[in-house]
């Protein structure tokens, strides 16, 4: 049933337009693969599969160039001097980049796909196939492309019992019980899908880590997965539980300054690299939400990260140290804590440490202003952590196109080195000139037949990969590509559905948390509204802490009159966020406590404006339904129906959000709902 779903964006549907097919065939008449490494084989088989399925013609994979119009694939070292000369300067690309070029050779037209390494060739092949998938011209090609970040990685919050923290697409893909000898085809398909969008790393385990993964029984299984992923250019990483030396090492302490502890980690690293020579390194959540860390021993994050960095450094490993920390002992403003704790460490981490920062200062909300740490640690590599799984955005039930959110964050101007210092520039290293750069996405993948629960959630995995490759890519381009590769190239389908995807992000903001509201989801699971919740033991877990609604108004005052969190931004940005007049209305209640009668830019009072936003969110979902209902003829029945049912739930729940929030906030505003807002039933 879910066959089409399973194939993700690699459908390679047969082209029905004969003219188009013959145009492609006039440029492609054969395949030549110069390499015979495993990665080369993957690349040539993919090329063969894609071309055959889309153009209806099977090409043999040859080792020698004897025909006209062949697609020649191979890394630089495999190319003849003559071809190399035609290709030009390989310095235009980095180690993972590729060049696709139409060349004229011995009287023949050929398309060459090359890179410095075989993995670059593989990326080039996927790019070339995407051109055909999306009906682009392949005549006179000259494409030069390289990833802008080094670490493009999925973070799986997968537990060893196969449950997935915040996972809404079934259980974990990793079948630990059957590994290492049983290799599920899914591991291969997973690697292939990731390679097709340039993802080159995967953290297999939850940041709320279990030390058992570091025991030899499990490392044997990890090794088996690493062997599957390697030819696809994907490195395996693990989460390191800071107290592992005690739990599985028999030591009395995990103090990073203790010589036995440091040695234990060094030996552990040695053991891992013996099995997995290209092991990526560790991702660590320490002293955050109850996880053990260096502070348990009176040490700090630098001590902890550097100790681990020393252990993996001899093998080229990295430590991704998370900055997601907040404490109940400082209830003043959770949004300020990571910055307050980490910025003083700037320049103190070892070279192979990269600090992983969530996109916003609270926690993966439908909208958050960018995290003030970006740009504020010029001597430290910072990597982005996005959440692809929709913990706060309707799980896998709601259609929300996240690349729009990701783009908004990446394009935000930190002003840390003057105008134009966008978050993307911090992430790609152009600001800090650090060698280590990266983007992580908390995975939304599970063992559901369609991988991600919602058919459209596949677009979020896809879009994450595309943005990790190029953080300046436009989300509209991503939506367009994904739809063409996944469903259809028909313009009558693409246009409205792409617009629906783009709109879906603002819709969820509107029906959940308009005008800068945040963290008002029901607690624990974070599904559905719960702005009234106030009885949790930690103040900053309660939604009332975030919206602060009272008779006077609503919102969190983070300006000078409040917690002064705005001061953590560069002065230019702080100035904008600090005053009611200059603060963008989309972030208004994030930074200000605003009176119910405050006049918004459109002349509405805050109360009316808020209510109208909730209604707008509902209307937007209705509109999404209308668009989808007109798409039946372009889509297979299974996926059409799945999305239709899910949109129906989303519509119902958008109304639930609107009614629950407005009825609750109305107790404080004491005002009637304005015209245009449907009354709760």
Contact assessment for residue 454 and residue 401, using Cβ atoms and an 8 Å cutoff:
no
Burial category of 371 from C-beta neighbours within 10 Å (exposed 0-12, middle 13-18, buried 19 and up): buried
* Alpha helices per DSSP H over 385-490: 403-410, 423-427, 458-469, 475-486
Q: How far is the CB of 578 from ligand GCW (least distance, A)?
A: 27
Ramachandran angles phi, psi of 235, nearest 5°? -95, 150
Q: Which of 279, 262, 301 is nearest to 203 (CA)?
A: 279
In which residue are the tokens 């993700």 written? 8
Q: Is 363 in the site for ligand GCW (CB under 6 A)?
A: yes
Q: How far is the CB of 392 from ligand GCW (least distance, A)?
A: 8
Scan residues 131-190 and list those touching ligand GCW (CB under 6 A): 157, 165-166
Rounded to the nearest 10 degrees, what angle do helices 18-25 and 38-55 cross at?
A: 140
Q: How far is the CB of 283 from ligand GCW (least distance, A)?
A: 11
Q: How far is the CB of 319 from ligand GCW (least distance, A)?
A: 16
- Rounded Cα distance, 152 and 280, in Å: 12
Please say which residue, 527 or 596, places its beta carbon nearer to ligand GCW: 527
Q: Is 364 in the site for ligand GCW (CB under 6 A)?
A: yes
Of 118, 385, 391, 659, the active-site residue reads 391
Contact assessment for residue 568 and residue 339, using Cβ atoms and an 8 Å cutoff:
yes
Please say which residue, 154 or 677, places its beta carbon nearer to ligand GCW: 154
Please say which residue, 118 or 385, places its beta carbon nearer to ligand GCW: 385
Respond yes or no: is residue 363 known to be catalytic.
Answer: yes
Please say which residue, 107 or 290, places its beta carbon nearer to ligand GCW: 290
* Strand, coil or helix: 61: strand
Q: Which of 640, 643, 591, 606 is nearest to 621 (CA)?
A: 643
Query: What are 546-552's contacts with CB under 8 Å, separation 24+?
Result: 546/362, 546/517, 546/518, 546/519, 546/520, 547/517, 547/518, 547/520, 547/589, 547/665, 548/593, 549/664, 549/665, 549/668, 550/668, 551/668, 551/670, 552/593, 552/595, 552/596
Q: Which tokens go with 29?
A: 């008449």
For ligand GCW, which residue of 285, 547, 558, 655 counts as binding (CB under 6 A)?
285
Q: How far is the CB of 113 from ligand GCW (least distance, A)?
A: 39
Scan residues 518-557 and list those touching ligand GCW (CB under 6 A): none
Please say which residue, 268 or 322, places its beta carbon nearer to ligand GCW: 322
- Rounded Cα distance, 320 and 368, in Å: 23
- Rounded Cα distance, 70 and 287, in Å: 56
Q: How far is the CB of 396 from ligand GCW (least distance, A)?
A: 16
Of 161, 289, 550, 672, the active-site residue reads 289
Q: How far is the CB of 240 from ligand GCW (least distance, A)?
A: 14
Please say which residue, 120 or 294, places its beta carbon nearer to ligand GCW: 294
Please say which residue, 27 or 288, places its beta carbon nearer to ligand GCW: 288
Helix, strand, coil tally for the chain in percent (to 5): 45, 10, 45
- Rounded Cα distance, 404 and 393, in Å: 13
Please say which residue, 363 or 481, places its beta carbon nearer to ligand GCW: 363
String of DSSP letters for 216-270: HHHHHHHHHHHHHHGGGT-EEEEE--TTHHHHTT--S---TT-HHHHHHHHHHHH
Q: Which of 518, 604, 612, 511 is nearest to 558 (CA)?
A: 518
| Interaction pattern, residues 217-256, with ligand GCW; x per rule: CB under 6 A | ----------------------------------------
Please say which residue, 119 or 211, places its beta carbon nearer to ligand GCW: 211
- Rounded Cα distance, 560 and 573, in Å: 14
Respond yes or no: is residue 289 known to be catalytic.
Answer: yes
Instruction: Say how many C-beta atoms besides its own lie within 10 A of residue 665's C-beta.
Output: 22
Please say which residue, 359 or 437, places its beta carbon nearer to ligand GCW: 359
Q: How far is the CB of 526 from ligand GCW (least distance, A)?
A: 7
Contact assessment for residue 197 and residue 466, using Cβ atoms and an 8 Å cutoff:
yes
Of 5, 333, 341, 363, the active-site residue reads 363
Q: How far is the CB of 383 from ligand GCW (least distance, A)?
A: 14
In DSSP terms, 154 is beta-bridged to 202, 441
| Interaction pattern, residues 385-404, with ligand GCW; x per rule: CB under 6 A | ------x-------------
- Rounded Cα distance, 318 and 200, in Å: 14
- Rounded Cα distance, 631 and 207, in Å: 40
Q: How far is the CB of 207 from ligand GCW (least distance, A)?
A: 5
Interface with ligand GCW: number of residues (CB under 6 A):
11
> What residues are labeled active site?
289, 363, 391
Q: Which residues bind ligand GCW (CB under 6 A)?
A: 157, 165-166, 207-208, 285, 289, 324, 363-364, 391
């Amino acid at each position: 049933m879910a066959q089409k779903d399973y194939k993700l964006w690699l459908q390679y549907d047969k082209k029905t337009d004969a003219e188009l097919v013959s145009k492609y065939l006039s440029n492609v008449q054969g395949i030549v693969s110069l390499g015979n490494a495993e990665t080369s084989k993957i690349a040539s088989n993919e090329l063969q599969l894609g071309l055959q399925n889309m153009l209806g013609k099977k090409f043999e994979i040859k080792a020698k160039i004897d025909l006209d119009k062949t697609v020649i694939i191979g890394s630089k070292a495999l190319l003849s001097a003559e071809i190399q000369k035609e290709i030009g300067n390989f310095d235009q690309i980095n180690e993972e980049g590729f060049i696709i070029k139409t060349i004229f050779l011995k009287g023949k037209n050929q398309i060459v796909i090359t890179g410095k390494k075989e993995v670059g060739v593989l990326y080039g092949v996927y790019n070339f196939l995407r051109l055909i998938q999306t009906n682009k011209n392949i005549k006179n090609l000259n494409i030069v492309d390289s990833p802008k970040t080094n670490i493009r990685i999925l973070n799986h919050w997968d537990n060893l019992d196969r449950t997935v923290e915040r996972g809404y697409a079934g259980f974990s893909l990793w079948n630990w019980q059957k590994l290492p000898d049983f290799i599920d085809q899914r591991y291969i398909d997973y690697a292939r899908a990731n390679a097709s969008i340039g993802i080159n790393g995967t953290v297999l385990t939850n940041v709320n880590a279990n030390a058992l993964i570091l025991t030899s029984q499990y490392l044997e299984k990890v090794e088996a997965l690493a062997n599957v992923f390697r030819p696809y250019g994907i490195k395996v990483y693990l989460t390191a539980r800071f107290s592992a030396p005690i739990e599985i090492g028999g030591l009395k302490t995990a103090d990073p300054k203790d010589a036995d502890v440091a040695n234990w980690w060094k030996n552990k690293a040695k053991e891992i690299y013996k099995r997995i020579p290209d092991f990526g390194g560790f991702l660590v959540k320490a002293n955050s939400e109850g996880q053990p860390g260096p502070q348990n021993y009176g040490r700090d994050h630098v001590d902890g990260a550097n100790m681990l960095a020393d252990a993996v450094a001899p093998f080229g490993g990295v430590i991704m140290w998370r900055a997601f920390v907040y404490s109940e002992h400082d209830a003043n403003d959770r949004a300020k804590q990571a910055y307050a704790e980490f910025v003083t460490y700037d320049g103190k981490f070892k070279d192979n440490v990269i600090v992983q920062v969530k996109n916003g200062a609270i926690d993966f909300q439908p909208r958050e202003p960018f995290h003030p740490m970006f740009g504020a640690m010029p001597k430290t590599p910072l990597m982005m952590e996005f959440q692809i799984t929709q913990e706060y955005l309707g799980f896998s039930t709601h259609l929300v196109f996240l690349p729009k959110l990701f783009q908004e964050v990446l394009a935000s101007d930190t002003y840390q080195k003057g105008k134009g210092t966008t978050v993307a520039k911090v992430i790609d290293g152009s600001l800090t000139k650090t060698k280590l750069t990266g983007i992580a996405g908390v995975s939304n993948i599970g063992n559901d037949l369609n991988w991600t629960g919602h058919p459209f959630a596949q677009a979020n995995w896809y879009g994450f990969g595309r943005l990790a490759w190029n953080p300046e890519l436009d989300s509209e381009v991503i939506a367009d590509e994904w739809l063409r590769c996944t469903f259809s190239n028909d313009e009558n389908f693409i246009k409205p559905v792409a617009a629906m995807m783009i709109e879906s992000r603002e819709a969820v903001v509107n029906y959940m948390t308009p005008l800068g509201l945040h963290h008002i989801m029901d607690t624990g699971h974070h599904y559905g509204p719960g702005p009234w919740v106030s009885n949790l033991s930690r103040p900053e877990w309660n939604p009332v802490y975030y919206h602060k609604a009272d008779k006077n108004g609503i919102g969190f005052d983070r300006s000078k009159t409040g917690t002064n969190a705005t001061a953590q931004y560069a002065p230019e940005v702080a100035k904008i966020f600090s005053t009611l007049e200059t603060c963008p209305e989309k972030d208004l209640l994030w930074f200000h406590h605003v009176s119910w009668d405050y006049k918004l830019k459109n002349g509405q009072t805050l109360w009316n404006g808020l209510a109208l936003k909730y209604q707008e969110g509902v209307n937007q979902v209705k509109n999404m339904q209308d668009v989808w209902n007109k798409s039946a003829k372009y889509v297979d029945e299974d996926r059409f129906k799945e999305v239709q049912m899910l949109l129906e739930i989303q519509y119902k729940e958008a109304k639930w959000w609107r009614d629950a929030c407005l009825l609750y906030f109305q107790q404080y505003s004491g005002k009637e709902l304005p015209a245009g807002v449907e009354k709760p039933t």
